[in-house]
Structure 1
Amino acid sequence: MSLLSRSFKVSPICVAVVSALSLAPAVAEEAAAEAVSTTNIERISVTGRSFNDYKVGSASGAMRGDIDLMDTPQSVAVIPDFVTDEQLATNLSEVLVNDSSVTGGSEKWNRQVFSIRGFELSSGSGYLINGQQQWSHYVQPIETLQQVEVLKGPSSMLYGQSGPGGLINMVTKKPTTETIFDLGFDTDEHGSTRFQLDAGGAINEAETIRYRTVLVKQDSTYWREYQDGTNQERDRWLGYLNLEFDITDDLLLSLKYDHTQDKTGIDRGGWLDSDGDLIGGKDIIWDQPWAFTDNTITNMGADITYFISDDWKVKAGFNDQQFNRQRLDSSPSLMSGSEDPFSDGYYVSPFDRYDDWQHKTGYIDFVGNFSTGGLDHQFLLGANMLDYYYGQLKESGEKKQVVMPGQPLPKPDLDYNNDETLYESEYKHYGFYVQDLITINDEWQVLAGVRYDEQKKEGAGNNSYAVSPKFGVIYSPAANGSIYVNYSKSFTPQGIVNNDEDASNGMNLDPEYGEQYEIGTKWELFDGSLLLTGAVFDITVSNVTVQQELETPDPEGNIYMTTQEGEQRHKGFEMGAQGQVSEQWFMTGSMMYLEAEYVTSASDKKSLDGMTPVDAPEWSANIWTRYEMTDNLAFNFGAIYVGERFANTSNTVTKDGYVRFDMGAAYTMDVMGSDVSVRLNVKNLFDEEYLAGGTTTDVTVGEGRHFGLALEAKF
């Protein structure tokens, strides 16, 4: 019996499949009444353009090209910047709440962790910028983004090393021929400020040289407090520039540069006791007030496109990412066997650390359309590469110094700049792929693709190889609807355990391999302005890497142990809606049901057999709407539901489910010929207390009622 057929034994999934697919006859009947013939369907093409501000017609990352979402046999969610601007989003976490298949994890050390369909994304292989892998060990600058694409399920056939849950592809803003000059400012009740400039246009009269630039200055004050009464703060500066040159009518060159400087105090999150309650309340930060992370990230890249003919083109690109970080950390932890730091104190183990990541990526794609024997082909042949380097310097202070709450430890005299502590790791990754989307007739399409990967590291036995196939079939019973099935595999090299508190520190990990079966459906209603989607998935991963928290530290003081054993199986269904419902009403929303568990050896005393991964809720859902009262006044309403989740791999500590409601209003006016808008948003309208992502030692504490005010002027 196949994995897909076994998934139908779960009754909620059966209900979802029947409900989703039952749309087909109803919508097909509606379409048939308007069509001259149901046997000669003409697809309404929406490639590369939006019907409205809430709905996007294509996702460039899903098929490595601007192919219609209706012709993509895969579940994909596209979140446009219009929606996230309405929500006053300031980071990627606030963007991805718009897709319920994505759940947030820990946010310690000024970075954000996410899972898709219950599988955690790797910093090195889970994120793309314009289709190229990005080292995402920091808070991504969303002000430069045109849209965020959530590519669900294995995408190794196109991108090589990547997780089984999917990928996040961030698409940056492009140069424009039309002159734009937007100024923005937003603030909140804590005194945080953010200034933005977004400008673009043609540089010369012939419009053959165009630009787009974004500048951001942000100073944030957070609501949680250090034990000396001060608040965590963040100081961030961002600069982005994209230049396009029409060298000839057939040759296009694009140059990109961005630089981020981001310094913030450290808040590793809250501690949970054995009952799942916050120790010390929701406001307290256990890190010392002198702890900080200071990130410097620079990306320099170029893309060139040559149009060989009307049907064929070749694209090539390169990106060099330099990421440097200093982290002066106090590394707080509970004393062994204690859940009362106010009586027993807690440990502080300070260190000063410098990290140097270098990510060089490149690709070349041949893309073309042709016909053979009455079949139409959308063909892709390509290769990409990744050259990765990591270096670390570190000086540690005295470990496990006992401190009492309210009595901060003085800043230690540490200096990471000591070559004797140098740790280095590097590898090179190559991949070659071919993909063909074959249109047989107006009702049937077939997708077939395969990839070969090779990752090379120094040392015998450290190389990894993989072949990743992908296969899909699309059936279109009507011009506005499709039903698809797909099969795909993932390949995820794991590297070396690099954690001084892990008993497996230094262990070389084997790759993880994933396999997915998916069936889904997509329908466009109201003349194509509203997109409805549904999908059922079954994903199995072998050779799973798991970091377990030890019940008590081992004799060497380690509190974690990383192992690779057994399988991890996630199955469930998801639904989504995005677009325009009526002349004044727009909405985007989704929901997901997920069954996730480890399948491991029962003979292992630390077996996770039958356990659910951390931060994998059974149910999750979200909605965000816009209602336009007049041409100048609009109201927004949103809600986010995240179900009950486990906070540790042994499933002994549970975080309660929660619902968060948000509201907003915006008014636009003409001031001296310029459009000026004022927006007021309230997040967590009913002041719900909740715990977001993270484990028992680094849980993110949900903020209470939060007010945001923004001004924007378009010249």
Structure 2
Amino acid sequence: MSLSGSPFTYSTIGLAVLAAIASATAVADEAANTVVDANIERITVTGRTFNDYKVGVASGAMRGDIDLMDTPQSVSVIPDFVTDEQLATNLSEVLVNDSSVTSGSEKWNRQVFNIRGFELSSGSGFLINGQQQWSHYVQPIETLQQVEVLKGPSSMLYGQSGPGGLINMVTKKPTYDTVFDVGFDTDEEGSTRFQIDAGGSINEAQTIRYRTVLVKQDTQYWREYQDGSNQERDRWLGYLNLEFDITDDLLLSLKYDHTQDKTGIDRGGWLNSDGKLIGGRDIIWDMPWAFTDNTVSNLGAELTYHISDNWKVKAGYNDQQFNRQRLDSSPSLVKGSEDPFKDGYTISPFDRYDDWQHKTGFIDFTGDFSTGDVEHKLLIGANMLDYYYGQLKEAGDKNQLVMPGQPVSRPDLDYHRDTTKSESDYKHYGFYIQDLITLNDSWQLLAGVRYDEQKKDGEGNNSYAVSPKFGVIYSPAENGSIYLNYSKSFTPQGMVNDPDDVNDKMNLDPEYGEQYEIGTKWELFDGSLLLTGALFDITVSNVTVTQDLEVTPTSGDKTITTQSGEQRHKGFEMGAQGQLTEKWFMSGSMMYLDAEYVRPEEDRLDGKTPVDAPEWSANIWTRYEVTEALALNFGAVYVGERFANTDNTISKDAYVRFDIGAAYTMDIKGTDLSVRLNVKNLFDQDYLAGGTNTDVTVGEGRHFGLALEAKF
């Protein structure tokens, strides 16, 4: 497929996909007329709405509650109703519901993701309620109302961010009426998770409201250390959100959450030159004493003032403190060997303390007004980020040779003994203006621009950028739209911070991305089903690439980081979300991706595909309501063949995973009690998930999950 040249030049297959989606609207209009009465009757009888699976607004896409049909951008929204059905316990299990997102490595109790083949940065790829969140850990999902995948460059609104898109996590809000839910889930490994979700009004006038979530999780993982013990995880989460109606026009919201998360380390599996897993599926190469211990807290406030019915100003601030201790054994294969059972393998232990501090703030001024017959939704705003990082580290002897199964005692390492603290910091400021212009019932225009500055004291590596965004929406019918957008991304790169890299301490230039996207959105069956499709072409310049080197006795360098050439990703996506019939609901998507490096001809990466960028990926999750009390679920995830190294000499096979579930709900003396049983990977498929040939995540076999929930 070719998207080269003009943004309006596309291949036959791409146009065929869009034509197929658009042509479905004619049938859908007729179908909608025949089912509308059934929908009304269903709502009257059961009280359920189709919004359990379909959400019409993504607050992060336009920095406001603007309908997805009025958003000239590909956006998917994953509601907590769906992920609760799937018994999801982490963000990776949530994002499997969008095929444009693929998983990377999960070592060190963190999760890496790619959108449209571009890896998300821990520092700039994740948002909480529209504010940047340092996401170098497994994000808690129990506090989330929905997860929004904003696809394509979003620098016009959020500044530094990657070209593939952003993940915006929207937290649960306080409620006027009393809510009290208690949940418990477990699995065949003996893992447990207890949850309490409570909310309501504190005073009779309902001007003070709250929402709180408490979670205690103890996880037993299926993979084993070489002494026979399993990797374990101990997590505690507390969340509190308070809302105060100071006046009828002034709302104050205060939010605090605290996460304590400690787990043993499993860097993943090793692949040989044929792409086969070395050793068994369940073997962990890290030492049993290795662990990572995260302590994360967020304290934030938002103030919203309604100046009039059409104008408001909103300001917010969040202080995130993230501290981590990591006692790591850092295992690796012996150079030139693919048989650790014969040649052994090495460990390079160290004890490290990391201190990240993210302080973010914003102010948005929004309003609706008209100039003649033309309507405007105006946004003027600014945001900032104050970033600090400090590190203490004490390392042991490097490359200690061990044999599989050989016990290695915990080394006497203590980061407190490090007297040379490594520190870095920067400040980022951005100013933006955006206008969504409605010309008439059929045409809308979006125009926006942003100016960014990132300042680093003493490093002489300040960055500046101007990021525009333009969009056009044409609505041929009330229930459908076709859009075109152009946007840019701006991603500062900092400096190389790796003593084993040839270019250690070298300042890197920002990466700049540019996207053209054309798409369509249709609401079918009286608005209960949303169909979407999009073609995209993204080009990134100043691409930062780290490559492995042949280590020699004289050099000692293991990698080299450089910036040259481009990275170009082209493809198309389709998605469906909502209600198909009175009892049948579904959420599904698919993506085709053509991703490659465009480098100087002498560079060995020229024409190569990035790691974990499959050509095809797809997913589906469905719900069928057998009765008002009994519901059945079926799901499938397909991920195509992916490369496991940048040289494209090692690949991971494609796989399909099938999941099923069932839930039964009953009323016991006014309390809704539900029981759910899920089976993930029903056919016990062997597969490799995200990660490279040195840290690949090994897919779990057949997994049983049981959950109980009581709503009082």
Tell me the CA shift for residue 509 of structure 1.
Answer: 1.2
Q: Which residue of 1 aligns with 2:516?
A: 517
Deviates more, 1:546-555 or 1:623-632: 546-555
Deviates more, 1:612-621 or 1:663-672: 663-672
* 2:142 match: secondary structure: helix
Q: Which residue of 2 aligns with 1:43?
A: none
| Deviations 1:352-411, CA, capped at 9 Å, x for gaps | 000000000000000000000210000000000000000000000000000000002110
User: Residue type matched to 1:19 in 2?
Assistant: A
Q: 1:683 aligned to 680, 685, 689, which one?
A: 680
For residues 545 and 504 of structure 1, do their structure 2 counterparts lie closer, same or farther at Cα, with a shift above 3 Å needed?
A: same
Q: Show structure 1 runs of 5+ residues with no match.
A: 35-48
User: Residue type matched to 1:374 in 2?
Assistant: D
Would you say 1:173 and 2:167 are equivalent positions?
no
Q: Which residue of 2 aligns with 1:40?
A: none
For residues 232 and 297 of structure 1, do their structure 2 counterparts lie closer, same or farther at Cα, with a shift above 3 Å needed?
A: same
Q: Which residue of 2 aligns with 1:498?
A: 497
Contact 1:7–1:13, Cα closer than 8 Å, also in 2:
no
| Deviations 1:145-197, CA, capped at 9 Å, x for gaps | 00000000000000000000000000000000010000000000000000000
Q: Show structure 2 runs of 5+ residues with no match.
A: 36-47
* 2:435 match: secondary structure: strand
* 1:17 match: secondary structure: helix
Q: Which residue of 2 aligns with 1:392?
A: 391
Inter-partner Cα distance in structure 2 for 1:28 and 1:190: 49
* 1:270 match: secondary structure: coil
For residues 149 and 304 of structure 1, do their structure 2 counterparts lie closer, same or farther at Cα, with a shift above 3 Å needed?
A: same
Structure 1 length-normalised TM: 0.96
Tell me the CA shift for residue 205 of structure 1.
Answer: 0.1
Q: Which residue of 1 aligns with 2:131?
A: 132
Q: Which residue of 2 aligns with 1:113?
A: 112
Q: Which residue of 2 aligns with 1:638?
A: 635
Inter-partner Cα distance in structure 2 for 1:200 and 1:7: 50
Contact 1:28–1:478, Cα closer than 8 Å, also in 2:
no
Contact 1:537–1:571, Cα closer than 8 Å, also in 2:
yes
User: Residue type matched to 1:172 in 2?
Assistant: T
User: Residue type matched to 1:392 in 2?
Assistant: Q
Contact 1:64–1:158, Cα closer than 8 Å, also in 2:
yes
Inter-partner Cα distance in structure 2 for 1:446 and 1:184: 46
User: Residue type matched to 1:183 in 2?
Assistant: V
Q: Which residue of 2 aligns with 1:528?
A: 527
For residues 614 and 553 of structure 1, do their structure 2 counterparts lie closer, same or farther at Cα, with a shift above 3 Å needed?
A: farther
Would you say 1:611 and 2:608 are equivalent positions?
yes
For residues 342 and 475 of structure 1, do their structure 2 counterparts lie closer, same or farther at Cα, with a shift above 3 Å needed?
A: same
Tell me the CA shift for residue 103 of structure 1.
Answer: 0.1
Q: Which residue of 1 aligns with 2:264?
A: 265
Would you say 1:349 and 2:348 are equivalent positions?
yes
Q: Which residue of 2 aligns with 1:39?
A: none
Inter-partner Cα distance in structure 2 for 1:227 and 1:702: 19
Q: Which residue of 1 aligns with 2:664?
A: 667
Contact 2:348–2:396, Cα closer than 8 Å, also in 1:
yes
| Deviations 1:240-281, CA, capped at 9 Å, x for gaps | 000000000000000000000000000000000000000012
For residues 500 and 232 of structure 1, do their structure 2 counterparts lie closer, same or farther at Cα, with a shift above 3 Å needed?
A: farther
Inter-partner Cα distance in structure 2 for 1:424 and 1:695: 29
* 2:92 match: secondary structure: helix
Contact 1:521–1:534, Cα closer than 8 Å, also in 2:
yes
Listed as ranges, the matches of 1:154-303 within 5 Å are: 154-303=153-302
User: Residue type matched to 1:95 in 2?
Assistant: V
Q: Which residue of 2 aligns with 1:55?
A: 54
Inter-partner Cα distance in structure 2 for 1:385 and 1:10: 41
Inter-partner Cα distance in structure 1 for 2:629 and 2:552: 61
Tell me the CA shift for residue 551 of structure 1.
Answer: 4.4
Tell me the CA shift for residue 709 of structure 1.
Answer: 0.2
* 2:84 match: secondary structure: helix
Tell me the CA shift for residue 506 of structure 1.
Answer: 1.8
Deviates more, 1:661-670 or 1:551-560: 551-560
Tell me the CA shift for residue 208 of structure 1.
Answer: 0.1
Would you say 1:18 and 2:19 are equivalent positions?
yes
User: Residue type matched to 2:192 in 1?
Assistant: T
Q: Which residue of 1 aligns with 2:314?
A: 315
Q: Which residue of 2 aligns with 1:37?
A: none
Q: 2:696 aligned to 694, 699, 703, which one?
A: 699
Q: Which residue of 1 aligns with 2:323?
A: 324
* 1:55 match: secondary structure: coil
Inter-partner Cα distance in structure 2 for 1:164 and 1:655: 25
Listed as ranges, the matches of 1:649-660 within 5 Å are: 649-660=646-657
User: Residue type matched to 1:640 in 2?
Assistant: V
Q: Which residue of 2 aligns with 1:41?
A: none
Tell me the CA shift for residue 548 of structure 1.
Answer: 1.6
Q: Which residue of 1 aligns with 2:40?
A: none
Deviates more, 1:494-503 or 1:260-269: 494-503
* 1:56 match: secondary structure: coil
For residues 612 and 526 of structure 1, do their structure 2 counterparts lie closer, same or farther at Cα, with a shift above 3 Å needed?
A: same
Contact 1:476–1:483, Cα closer than 8 Å, also in 2:
yes
Tell me the CA shift for residue 33 of structure 1.
Answer: 12
| Deviations 1:542-563, CA, capped at 9 Å, x for gaps | 0001122234467443332221
Q: What is the aligned length?
A: 700
| Deviations 1:261-304, CA, capped at 9 Å, x for gaps | 00000000000000000001211100000000000000000000
Inter-partner Cα distance in structure 1 for 2:351 and 2:217: 25
Q: Which residue of 1 aligns with 2:620?
A: 623
* 2:497 match: secondary structure: coil
Structure 2 length-normalised TM: 0.96
Q: Which residue of 2 aligns with 1:543?
A: 542
Inter-partner Cα distance in structure 1 for 2:574 and 2:145: 24
For residues 440 and 7 of structure 1, do their structure 2 counterparts lie closer, same or farther at Cα, with a shift above 3 Å needed?
A: closer
